[in-house]
Amino acid sequence: MSYGSYLALDELLSLQRPRLPDHPDELLFIVVHQASELWFKCMLHEMDHLTHAMERGEVMYAVLTVQRMNALVQIVAAQLSALETMPPQHFAQFRGYLGSSSGSQSVQFRALEAASGARDPHFLQVIQEHGPVPELVQRALDQPTLEELFERLVAREGVTVQSLYTGPAPTPLFLLAEGLLAYDSGFARWRFLHVQLVERIIGPMTAGSGGTLGARYLQRTVSQRFLPRLWAVRAEFFNPSRAAAAADAPASNGEGTR
């Protein structure tokens, strides 16, 4: 066993196939998106560990796992900075080769959204636009959301979410709540950076690849959250009426990452 054979580098490095081999930016575009899919795979792996830990009541293990999830979200978001170096005229030169492909077709990203808590009607409609719901996505939809799992943990302990924020000292459940909110916030930051990237390269009004609405649609996804009821607890300290409205809002999500 060698470094190359263990990591299957011959196979891995043969998977980047630009349509314009001499183009200065197409290889970068492919690598960033392929790397994102690898990170999605890792995030889904960690999501399985997180949900299983929460189902078993292993709160501290869940805390450690969500910390890793948050680190992975930051890595995927940071990759977008590499694409910010691509001039719009360069992207225009190979964009036509993308055909009808769109980031909204990423099965792993859709599964990650579903596992996180996306359940609103628009999300369900979008994932069916390209045919039957992929098995990976359906498996995530059949499982409880992160918010539901957390609320079950709280009920099992015989406390309330509010009490986690008013007790004399932080508890493992409090740390998990904060970790989950950091994950949700990191996801929103990822969406925001993506909107900025799309606007910078193709402009705010240009249609996205695959016939999507591009930045116009992505802008509406930035404020969406997977854990609205957990976020609402914060508002209770400052605006109880708005907190009640936020708690009634369904978890929702956007169209894609590209």
Q: Mind listing the domains of the chain with CATH numbers?
A: 22-247 (1.20.58.480)
Distance CA 33, CA 70 (A): 19
Tens-binned pLDDT, residue by residue, of the chain (258 aa): 999 999 999 999 999 999 998 999 999 999 999 999 999 999 999 999 999 999 999 999 999 999 999 999 999 999 999 999 999 999 999 998 988 887 778 999 999 999 999 988 878 887 887 789 999 999 999 999 999 999 999 999 999 999 999 888 899 999 999 999 999 999 999 988 888 888 888 775 455 454 554 445 555 556 678 999 999 998 888 776 655 665 565 555 444 333
pTM of the model: 0.85
